[in-house]
Amino acid sequence: MAARAMLTIKSLTSVLQNGAKSAGLGLVAAYSRGLQTFTLPDLAYDYGALGPAISGEIMQLHHQKHHQTYITNYNKAIEQLEDALAKGDSAAVVKLQSAIKFNGGGHVNHSIFWKNLTPIREGGGEPPKGSLGWAIDTHFGSLEALIQKVNAEGAALQGSGWVWLGLDKEFKKLVVETTANQDPLVTKGANLVPLLGIDVWEHAYYLQYKNVRPDYLKNIWKVINWKYASEVYEKESS
Ligand SMILES: [Fe+2]
């Protein structure tokens, strides 16, 4: 479909250029809305590199199957959206919103999640330094207090969803929030920027931790990439 869209744009450009030539115009300015589809991002580490906190089996399935499925369905939905927009079919546009939110959210959230993790030998679990470390102490008392709050909210979240550490850019403060299903953090506030998101869907832990989500939450901190969260914090809070 993406290839088809590209061809359509190319054909349109060709028609416009030929038309411009025949009209004696040296230059044609055409605006085409290109359709960008999405592909599965590579991980910066091997599937087995987060063990024993998160098994290689979970990581591979989570990345190759679950994340890929969100991307596949997201691409399908935005291609359908493009068709609906081209036809001026408002009912179809509105009907697609939930699929776009769910699958697009799944893609956005998982893309952040992979960056929030890193093997212990590459700094996983090392407490944040610099301004994020200070901000955590200021807002939560200590890193340990923040971890307890995230774990408590993540464990209490009913059904599937995410628990986040975010930066509220308007009030310049750190917040802990949860979102249901695949809702991104921004659905809780337009000024919220995700620094750290933990996937608490069963597919993120069940093969290893069965139904004991609190154990998964306890262990995931051993492979959290605070360096990445600190970089986002510094960029977004400056
Ligand atoms: Fe997931």
Distance 211 CA to ligand 1 centre (A): 15
Distance 62 CA to ligand 1 centre (A): 6
Residue 109, helix vs strand vs coil:
helix
Q: Which of 90, 77, 94, 83 is nearest to 37 (CA)?
A: 77
Token readout for 63 is 């990345």
Predicted pLDDT at 33 = 55
Distance 110 CA to ligand 1 centre (A): 6
Q: Is the dihedral of CA 2, 39, 104, 33 positive or negative?
A: negative
- Given a contact cutoff of 8 angstroms between Cβ atoms, the answer to whether 189 and 168 are in contact is yes
Distance 189 CA to ligand 1 centre (A): 22
Distance 23 CA to ligand 1 centre (A): 55
Measured between alpha carbons, how far is 146 from 139 in angstroms, rounded to an integer? 9
Ligand 1 (ion): residues with CB under 5 Å are: 199, 201, 204
Measured between alpha carbons, how far is 30 from 120 in angstroms, rounded to an integer? 51
Distance 199 CA to ligand 1 centre (A): 6
Distance 216 CA to ligand 1 centre (A): 13
Q: Distances from the Cα of 113 to the Cαs of 14, 77, 144, 195, 198, in angstroms? A: 42, 23, 21, 10, 7
pLDDT tens string, the chain, 238 residues long: the values are 343 333 333 332 333 233 333 333 222 222 235 788 999 999 999 999 999 999 999 999 999 999 999 999 999 999 999 999 999 999 999 999 999 999 999 999 999 999 999 999 999 999 998 999 999 999 999 999 999 999 999 999 999 999 999 999 999 999 999 999 999 999 999 999 999 999 999 999 999 999 999 999 999 999 999 999 999 999 999 8
Distance 40 CA to ligand 1 centre (A): 13
Distance 162 CA to ligand 1 centre (A): 9
Distance 192 CA to ligand 1 centre (A): 21
Distance 230 CA to ligand 1 centre (A): 23
Distance 157 CA to ligand 1 centre (A): 15
